[in-house]
Structure 1
Amino acid sequence: MTPHRLTRDQARRLVVRAQLLDADRPGDVVEVAEQLGYVKIDPTATIAPCEDTVLWSRIGWSYEHGQLQRAVELDRLLFEFDGTFRPTSLLPLMLPSMRRWPQPASSREWLDANDRFRTDVLARLRAEGPLAASAIPDTAQVERAPDGWSGKNQVPHMLDFLLRQGEVAIVRREGRTRIWDLAERVYPAGLPEYSDDEAARLREERSLQASGIARPHHWWSGVGKETGEPAVVEGSTVRFRVDPEALTALDDEPEGRVAFLNPYDGLLFDRRRLQELFEFTYVLEQFKPAPQRVYGYFAHPILLGDRFVGMLDAEVDRTNEVLRVNAIHEFLPFEPEEMDMVRAEIDDLAEWLGVAVTGVR
């Protein structure tokens, strides 16, 4: 098939619309998760935790954290998996690969060596669940090597393995603590069944739907080399895959707005795509020594329409109930109207957080 030829403007528009960052805001949490495929969970909260800022940047002032909690814990329209909230509609497409997990030999060997431990954990959940990991005894026969993230307790490791196999699930959170139960008591019954190949194909299509246009790559985009249709973008040597449905709306008049993106927002994940389409080189400075930071510890990229125009360095001070704006970094000087739009979004953000604004204005 002859590749679609797109301008950078068109390619950016595809991404912004697919990521629900144009002027047509989605209505609720589930709509966002269905389109994006996942909402990243991370506790770093200079402004708010990742899951909340990702949703607020799409939905706006009407988003409340309780909506996310309800969708996960009561309505079961979302579920937690691998540090993300995902739409339950994706679960049937994930189950075939979950049943084949793990592939790495070291993980299989650890599970085999801890078969009695695995049985103990499942029995404890069946009898007493839902439970926090701390309420489950560690009866491991063999320990995993330290990974720098977790301690010697093997229960979190086993629960993570069982989650990936579809045996257990996270039923809710109490603060940041995950509460576990048997998957059969958390996930819906009667889910549709798919073969491995069909599930993989449908997952790749969903990933492309969330991207609009993507580099085919299992890790960076979840999009296969045959997913969607081929595309090339002016000024880029990258071979892209494009969502054919998204192309049908390409000629619609674009309407832009300002959005502050959490540094862990999925749109920012593929740095190469950011550079090729948005001409934006993004570096997360969280792990840099303070003297080497240009924009700030956890600065949020500022998207204006379909271009990244700056970085917002801001943090919430709950003691004084303010959103402190340390800097608005402009890649190029803002026009007065652009600065007004950015300031208006800062005011909306502060109102959503329930605090006043202080600092750079």
Structure 2
Amino acid sequence: MLTIEELQSITLERQGLCSNSPFGNGKDAVCQALERLGYLQIDTLSVVERAHHHTLWTRIPDYEANYLDELVQERQIFEYWFHAASYLPVRDFRFARPQMLAVRDNESHYYKADSMIMQYILDTIRAEGPKRARDFENQAKKTGSWWDWKPTKIALERLFLQGDLMIAGREGMQKTYDLPERVLPAAIDLTVPSPREYANYLVKTYLNAYGWTTLKQITHLKIGEAIRKDVKEVLSVMQEEEMVEAIHIKGYPTVFVQRDLLEAKVRGNSPKVRLLSPFDNAIIHRDRVKQFFDFDYRIECYTPKEKRQYGYFCLPILLGNTFIGRVDCKAHRKLQQFEIIHLHLENQLIDFELWAKPFAERIKQFILFNRCTSLKLTQVSPRNKASAVRKLLENLF
């Protein structure tokens, strides 16, 4: 029987949060990380470095932001939806096809695009090559144009979601669209998986990424009883074949653990500090983190200011296996100044000397990653820790 602490260690090790370079170095490490994690959520918010870059930097010390674009160009990864906009390994492309076909067949989808505009976009890209959205914006402004800009944006997104276009690259967050046959490798498997194959893909993706999982996590944001039934059947077969084992701990949901990990020696996580993105794979399943790590985390950037408890864009602070707080921060890039708006220290049982130096080292690395050269500390909670924290951080730069 595994303990909660052992489950924590297993999942953090599988997530690549227990050592400095768990996936190696450079661009190859990005491929290794993505194949382990299963997906990498893309986010447009840039209060600090965007989530997809932050998540990889946390695991790859020499990570560079251009790696993702290069891997798209090299046809090793692609963009689509997992539970949100994501980068995925190109080997998994066929498992995105059911959702693409579902969008194509859904006449009531929230992206209701004009069929004539969609056909014009496809014909233009087929004849002229990859296009950005703003290329069509210029066309829409021409005198006598029969379409305008807003429907074009909707049409582009609809074509992307139903698989008629793919994202061939980015300039920052500006997407370039092209036809799938010019983006995908020539030998890619385009076979649409059966519902049972898709359920098997989901189960194995989560087990590979976390070492153990729950039924709720596997079916996160998946609609309908059919997918739950298929997932249960896949788990049942995997138990019969002794690939996974169901673990029952009082007060917790049933956990399905990879059998080989049960037999391996579970190592405790070293007392390193990690500053996680709000969209990091290790934190994105909020119920799981609350249940198994006793850390109640919600991102508050979508919450009205007067209702926020911690701040606009708080980063969870992980020390070893324990979340010790969160830090609301912002990179003022024009000033090259990084501001800690509010540092919330929540686990008062953790000795200051245990986390202080690792935190200072990590925050300095993160400041440099955000292309800043100075630090401003505004607020610390609880207040009785403020003086010690200020002294700790005052000589970082």
Same fold (TM over 0.5): yes
> Which of 144, 152, 156 is the matching residue for 1:155?
152
Question: Which residue in 1 is equivalent to 2:302?
Answer: 287
Residue identity opposite 1:48 in structure 2: E
Query: 1:114-141 deviations in whole A, cap 9, x for unaligned?
Result: 5444332211110112111233367xxx
State whether structure 2 residue 167 is matched by structure 1 residue 170: yes
> Is the CA contact 1:255–1:305 (under 8 Å) kept in the aligned structure 2?
yes
Residue identity opposite 1:80 in structure 2: E
Pairwise CA distance, 1:35: 1.0
State whether structure 2 residue 292 is matched by structure 1 residue 277: yes
1:279-358 equivalences under 5 Å are 279-333=294-348, 334-335=350-351, 336-358=353-375
1:29-178 equivalences under 5 Å are 29-60=30-61, 62-72=62-72, 74-82=73-81, 83-102=85-104, 104-107=106-109, 114-136=114-136, 153-178=150-175
Q: 2:252 and 2:32 mapped to 1: Cα distance? A: 34
Q: 1:355 and 1:105 mapped to 2: Cα distance? A: 47
1:115-264 equivalences under 5 Å are 115-136=115-136, 153-192=150-189, 194=191, 195-196=193-194, 197-217=196-216, 219-220=219-220, 224-225=231-232, 226-227=234-235, 229-232=244-247, 234-252=249-267, 254-264=269-279
Residue identity opposite 1:22 in structure 2: C
Instruction: Pick closer, same or farther for the CA change 1:212–1:324 going to 2, 3 Å.
Output: same
> Is the CA contact 1:10–1:250 (under 8 Å) kept in the aligned structure 2?
no
Query: 1:323-355 deviations in whole A, cap 9, x for unaligned?
Result: 222333211234212111111111121233332
Query: 1:296-344 deviations in whole A, cap 9, x for unaligned?
Result: 2111000111111111222212232122223332112342121111111
Instruction: Pick closer, same or farther for the CA change 1:109–1:330 going to 2, 3 Å.
Output: closer
Structure with greater helix percent: 2
Question: Which residue in 2 is equivalent to 1:147?
Answer: none
Q: 1:248 and 1:354 mapped to 2: Cα distance? A: 44
Aligned partner of residue 316 in structure 2, secondary structure: strand
> Is the CA contact 1:22–1:255 (under 8 Å) kept in the aligned structure 2?
yes
State whether structure 2 residue 11 is matched by structure 1 residue 15: yes
Residue identity opposite 1:67 in structure 2: Y
Pairwise CA distance, 1:104: 3.9
Q: 2:310 and 2:32 mapped to 1: Cα distance? A: 32
Pairwise CA distance, 1:245: 4.2
| CA RMSD between the two structures | 2.8
Residue identity opposite 1:129 in structure 2: G
Structure 1: give runs of 5+ residues left out of the alignment: 144-150
Residue identity opposite 1:43 in structure 2: T
TM-score (norm 1): 0.84
Aligned partner of residue 84 in structure 1, secondary structure: strand
Q: 1:188 and 1:247 mapped to 2: Cα distance? A: 37
> Is the CA contact 2:80–2:87 (under 8 Å) kept in the aligned structure 1?
yes
Residue identity opposite 2:125 in structure 1: L
Residue identity opposite 1:349 in structure 2: F
Residue identity opposite 1:351 in structure 2: L
Aligned partner of residue 297 in structure 2, secondary structure: coil
Q: 2:32 and 2:158 mapped to 1: Cα distance? A: 29
Instruction: Pick closer, same or farther for the CA change 1:354–1:186 going to 2, 3 Å.
Output: same
Query: 1:81-123 deviations in whole A, cap 9, x for unaligned?
Result: 1321111121133335534544545139957xx5444332211
Pairwise CA distance, 1:220: 1.9
Instruction: Pick closer, same or farther for the CA change 1:220–1:199 going to 2, 3 Å.
Output: closer
Q: 1:244 and 1:24 mapped to 2: Cα distance? A: 26
Aligned partner of residue 168 in structure 2, secondary structure: strand
Matched pairs, number: 342
Q: 1:302 and 1:109 mapped to 2: Cα distance? A: 37
